[in-house]
């Protein structure tokens, strides 16, 4: 049995694989601390995704403009295209667009090549769409992108507040752990805060079906309630935080009546939630895309964090603000600096940090300022400013908002390089197509939502000429003249350099520190057990919780309250607010899960959900085909009439692509509205109209 990690969501479950010739069996790894022997429907079906049938669709050879070439020709061509774009248009005409599906080693080499050697920070990732608001809020509050909690906290808390999370479908194994926690702890209460009544409501003692995007107001009201009832921890506030007085002033007007008016919740619902939070010291706020995917997602995350800082509920078992990532390695991307707004290893663009990274990399230059975030990057491409883009392991033609605009941008870009496993909507625009290794074929590490680094291990041979992404990036770096700084011949070599950078001139000042892993031998890397960072010489076995000593990563070591303005969103008369999200059995744009018959049986067609009263008003009935549209584009799907969505709102899954039908991409109608701080798109509240098709 080979121990590896599931490639789907940010829970990061361990799986044990038996592989003999074409027979692959997958089962849960009972030893992995993330899942302790559990798997969800997607993880359980992993064996079917590495079948011969799946391989028939694989990209097996590099090609340029549709003509098969070898790797030397392909990487020569890429290096020449990058060099020519830099010479004619400057370094900012080159961009990389990465993915939370990449392994940390792939991410590290891509980030180093762009920021240290090509010299621009125009390297962003689809993780921008998933959790960049959570990152920005942690940075504002704690001085670092540092998730305080661990999964065990879900089992030793007495109040679990799920905010904008349908964990039962999106993080199923964590949900299973919550179910078990509730069975074994009669004191545990669960609150679900979500405009929709999702399946996760089965676990909830209280559902707050608030108005879309009013979560920030709900938590401003909570902070005011905590202050008014004197349940704040004055000693913690005075000893370990700054900015409380301003935060207190900013919530003073949010009494229960005003919160009720702006959230559409009743006084009784609010009083119940506020009283439970006020009287339960062990409280976890568990939040995900419902909070992050908003034009004010960062502020909302800080509204939540403020309530934990005010009560000192952080750094203790069963208490803290806990953001959950969507993708298997969104966290690994954050560690290496895969977001355009970070430099590397939790360092930013201040002069001491750019200087430090440049010295460590022995780089000729280093990007001195943040690059273009995902939506801005494709906008720049549409304007003609990006001449070369390298897209790895992601399908932006479907997954980014305003997808018709994104496809037009890709069509305009002179050189589009795509590294992937199979053809998809984005590969249609590729001038250079590179065959990448997939799950079960590549070696490296991923980091899950509780900061736990786990190995993904290869157990199958590479199909055709497929290669690791770190390898293809290394080839191009060497052809650009950087052989000495990119000498890698294995994922292990990349990992130990990444670990060394994390500890370089760190001295405990940066949260991300895995310097104790920098001396791993190849054998040690092969047998690496799952471990939570920081992993330092003082903490060689890793760190379950952060901030247990109440010291943060700001210059003063004090946490910062953020006084954010309120935000309200409403659809004009006759229009609807469209919420987008995931289904239980599908993943992203279905390039993998769409191949598995058992995962496709439940929802065969693109659909949109609508409240029965809205359907009756429009004269629509169950399973009619409807068109959802606005000036960005249109989506056609089957109507599901359900009372789990509220009047005036719609819900549609994100998974279907143009390969299914021209009009099946829901992101065609999601406006490219982004959070001003994080750049994360507002994928939960698009203004649309709906008619019979």
**Considering the complex, what minimum distance in angstroms separates the CB of residue 40 from ligand SF4?**
3
Burial of 449 (0-12, 13-18, 19+ CB in 10 A): buried
Helix (H, G, I), strand (E, B) or coil at 197: coil
CA-based max dimension of the chain? 71
We find the least distance from the C-beta atom of residue 173 to ligand SF4, in angstroms, to be 4
Nearer to ligand SF4, 39 or 380 (CB): 39
Residue (171 or 225) nearer to ligand SF4, CB: 171
Least Å from the CB of residue 11 to ligand SF4: 4
Residue least distant from ligand SF4 (Cβ): 43
CB 453 within 8 A of CB 55: no
Contacting ligand SF4 within 131-190 (CB under 6 A): 171-173
- Which residue intervals of 592-692 are DSSP H helices? 597-600, 612-617
Nearer to ligand SF4, 151 or 219 (CB): 151
Q: Kindly indicate which of the ranges 1-9, 278-286, 351-359, 606-614 contains the residues binding ligand SF4, using the contact rule CB under 6 A.
A: 1-9
Nearer CB in complex with ligand SF4: 637/653: 653
Q: SS3 for 417? A: strand
Q: Of the two residues 452 and 684, which places its CB atom closer to ligand SF4 in the complex?
A: 452
465 burial via Cβ count (<10 Å: 0-12, 13-18, 19+): middle
Closest distance between ligand SF4 and the C-beta of residue 323, in Å? 16
The radius of gyration of the chain's CA atoms, rounded to the nearest angstrom, is: 24
- Nearer CB in complex with ligand SF4: 506/589: 589
Give 18 or 521: the residue with its C-beta nearer to ligand SF4: 18
Report the distance separating Cα 599 and Cα 373, nearest Å. 33
Minimum Å gap between C-beta 505 and ligand SF4 is: 35
Report the site for ligand SF4 in 3-62 (rule: CB under 6 A): 6, 8-9, 11-13, 35, 39-40, 42-43
Q: Minimum Å distance from CB 39 to ligand SF4?
A: 4
In eight-state DSSP terms, residue 347 is B
**Of residues 583 and 628, the one with the C-beta less far from ligand SF4:** 583
Q: Select 49 or 580, whichever has its Cβ closest to ligand SF4.
A: 49
* Cβ atoms 460, 443 nearer than 8 A: no
Nearest distance in Å: CB 425, ligand SF4:
23
Q: Which is nearer to ligand SF4, 325 or 415 (CB)?
A: 325
Task: Indicate the angle between helix axes 71-89 and 469-479, nearest 10 degrees.
Answer: 60
Size of the chain, expressed as the number of residues it contains: 693
Rounded to a whole number of angstroms, the minimum distance from the CB of residue 511 to ligand SF4 is 24
Q: How far is the CB of 253 from ligand SF4 (least distance, A)?
A: 41
> Rounded to the nearest 5 degrees, what angle is found at the Cα of 197, between the Cα atoms of 196 and 201?
135
CB of 106 to ligand SF4, least distance (A): 19
Lookup result for tokens 């795509």: 418
Q: How far is the CB of 13 from ligand SF4 (least distance, A)?
A: 3
Residues 6+ apart with CB under 8 A from 59: 420, 421, 422, 423, 427, 433, 434, 435, 436, 464, 466
Please work out the total of residues on this chain that contact ligand SF4, with binding judged by CB under 6 A.
14
Tokens of 2: 């080979």
User: Is the Cβ of residue 172 or residue 221 nearer to ligand SF4 in the bound state?
Assistant: 172
Q: Which residue in 569, 582, 481, 402 sits closest to 42, CA to CA?
A: 582
The neighbour count for residue 480, using CB atoms within 10 Å, is 18
Query: How many angstroms separate the Cα of 375 from the Cα of each of 321, 372, 678?
Result: 27, 8, 11
**Inter-CA distances, 544 with 150, 287, 530, 533, Å:** 6, 19, 12, 8
Q: Which residues bind ligand SF4 (CB under 6 A)?
A: 6, 8-9, 11-13, 35, 39-40, 42-43, 171-173
């Amino acid at each position: 049995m080979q121990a590896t990690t599931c490639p789907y969501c940010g829970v990061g479950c361990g799986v044990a694989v038996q592989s003999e010739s074409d027979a692959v069996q997958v089962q849960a790894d009972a030893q992995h601390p993330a899942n302790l022997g559990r798997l969800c429907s997607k993880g359980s079906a992993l064996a079917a995704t590495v079948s011969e049938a799946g391989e028939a669709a694989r990209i097996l050879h590099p090609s340029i403009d549709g003509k098969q070439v070898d790797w030397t020709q392909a990487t020569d061509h890429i290096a020449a295209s990058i060099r020519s774009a830099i010479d004619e248009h400057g370094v900012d005409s080159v961009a990389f667009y990465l993915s939370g599906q990449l392994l940390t080693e792939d991410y590290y080499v891509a980030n180093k090549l762009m920021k240290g050697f090509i010299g621009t920070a125009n390297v962003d990732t689809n993780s921008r769409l998933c959790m960049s608001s959570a990152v920005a809020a942690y940075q504002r509050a704690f001085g670092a992108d540092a998730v305080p909690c661990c999964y065990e906290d879900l089992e030793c808390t007495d109040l679990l507040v799920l905010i904008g999370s349908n964990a039962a479908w999106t993080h199923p194994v964590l949900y299973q752990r919550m179910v078990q926690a509730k069975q074994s702890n009669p004191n545990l209460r669960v609150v679900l805060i979500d405009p929709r009544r999702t399946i996760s409501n089965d676990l909830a003692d209280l559902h707050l079906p608030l108005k879309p995007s009013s979560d920030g107001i709900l938590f401003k009201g909570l902070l005011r309630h905590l202050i008014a009832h004197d349940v704040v921890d004055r000693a913690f506030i005075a000893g370990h935080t700054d900015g409380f007085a301003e935060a207190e002033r900013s919530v003073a007007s949010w009494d229960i009546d005003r919160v009720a008016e702006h959230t559409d919740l009743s006084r009784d619902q609010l009083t119940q939630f506020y009283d439970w939070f006020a009287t339960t010291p062990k409280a976890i706020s568990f939040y995900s895309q419902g909070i992050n995917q908003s034009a004010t997602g960062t502020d909302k995350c800080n509204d939540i964090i403020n309530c934990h800082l005010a009560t000192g509920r952080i750094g203790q078992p069963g208490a803290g603000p806990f953001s959950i990532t969507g993708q298997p390695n969104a966290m690994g991307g954050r560690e290496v600096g895969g977001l355009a707004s970070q430099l590397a290893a939790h360092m930013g663009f201040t002069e001491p940090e750019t200087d430090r990274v440049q010295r460590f990399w022995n780089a000729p230059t280093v990007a001195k300022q943040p690059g273009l975030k995902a939506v801005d990057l494709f906008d720049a491409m549409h304007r003609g400013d990006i001449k070369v883009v390298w897209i790895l392991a992601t399908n932006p033609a479907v997954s980014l908002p305003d997808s018709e605009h994104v496809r037009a941008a890709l069509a305009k870009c002179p050189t589009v390089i795509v590294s992937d496993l199979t053809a998809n909507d984005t590969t249609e625009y590729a001038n250079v197509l590179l065959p990448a290794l997939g799950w079960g074929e590549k070696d490296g590490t991923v980091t899950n939502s509780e900061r736990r680094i786990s190995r993904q291990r290869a157990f199958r041979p590479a199909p055709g000429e497929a290669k690791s992404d770190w390898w293809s990036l290394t080839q191009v770096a060497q052809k650009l003249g950087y052989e000495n700084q990119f000498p890698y011949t294995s994922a292990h070599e990349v990992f130990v350099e990444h670990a060394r950078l994390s500890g370089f001139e760190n001295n405990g000042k940066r949260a991300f520190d895995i310097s104790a892993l920098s001396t791993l031998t190849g054998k040690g890397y092969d047998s690496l057990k799952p471990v939570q960072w920081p992993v330092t010489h003082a903490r060689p076995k890793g760190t379950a919780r952060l901030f247990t000593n109440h010291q943060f990563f700001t210059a003063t070591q004090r946490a910062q309250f953020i006084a954010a303005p309120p935000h309200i969103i409403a659809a004009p008369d006759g229009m609807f607010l469209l919420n987008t999200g995931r289904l239980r059995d599908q993943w992203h744009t279905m390039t993998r899960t769409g191949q598995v018959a058992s995962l496709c049986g439940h929802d065969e067609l693109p659909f949109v959900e609508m409240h029965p009263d809205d359907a009756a008003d429009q004269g629509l009935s169950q399973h009619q085909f409807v068109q959802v549209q606005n000036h960005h584009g249109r989506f056609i799907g089957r109507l599901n009439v359900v009372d789990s969505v509220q009047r005036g709102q719609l819900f549609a899954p994100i998974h279907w692509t143009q390969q299914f039908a021209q009009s099946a991409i829901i992101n065609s109608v999601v406006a490219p509205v982004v959070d001003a701080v994080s750049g994360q798109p507002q994928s939960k509240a698009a203004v649309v109209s709906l008619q019979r098709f």
